[in-house]
Amino acid sequence: MTWIIKKMLKSTISIITIFAFIVIAVYVYVKISYPLGYVDLINKYSDEYNVDPYLVAAIINVESRYDKEALSSKEARGLMQIAPVTGQWAAETLEINDFNLEKLFEPEVNIKIGTWYLKVLSDEFNNNLQLILAAYNGGSGNVTKWLKNVEYSKDGITLNKVPFKETEEYIQKVEKNLKIYRIVYKTQFDKPSFYGENNLIALIHSFKKVIKNLVVYK
């Protein structure tokens, strides 16, 4: 009987070890794929502009993967990928002193402008999330045109079809991220417990940049 007990115990330990490994692997995957940083700033400006903080967090992940130095091919900058024209407009409206485009790489300025812009779009499109996201990615002028076109909108209120493939995929990505962020970080914004940059993600971005520079150098 002793050998049977030992065998069962060994099997149980193996199962527990495998289960623990799976749980840890899933946890690491989620934290890397859906990171969260700058909770204090997201909370601050979400409260100020009455915007869902989880939406801001999801958009940051889709836009820049929480890379504060992100720069797109269209010159959009920072965490929320603010376009130069939007940055200039926001800086004048919000009276941000000594503004220049480099300030868009500063997390506080970027999140302030990005969250304010979401509020502007929310007011313009009557809190319709699909339209807000379409406008954030494809431009509010385009969304307004699409709503007037029966090919894209049957009722002039919602979009039945998004003509820009990139914008269509963008909406889907943010909506997916939003659902996951609300589950993974369920109470995070009730009592912000960490501030500033996510060190793990910052390390990953730094490593990527080192590799990229080595490739370019070669």
- Cα distance between residue 158 and residue 153, in whole Å: 6
Cα angle: 31, vertex 33, 39; to 5 degrees: 60
Q: Which residue has the tokens 């100020």?
A: 48
Q: Which amino acid is at 205?
A: H
Whether the CB-CB separation of 200 and 32 falls below 8 Å is answered with yes
Rg over alpha carbons for the chain, rounded to the nearest Å, is 22
- Amino acid at the residue 139: G
Our answer to whether residue 63 is catalytic in this structure is: yes
- In terms of Cα–Cα distance, which of 148, 178, 143 is closest to 163? 143
Catalytic residue (choose from 48, 63, 106, 166): 63
The encoded tokens of residue 116 equal 């304010």
What letters, b where the CB count within 10 A reaches 16 and e where it falls short, cover 133-169?
A: bbbbbbebebbeebbeeeebbeeeeebeebeeeebbe
Catalytic center residues: 63
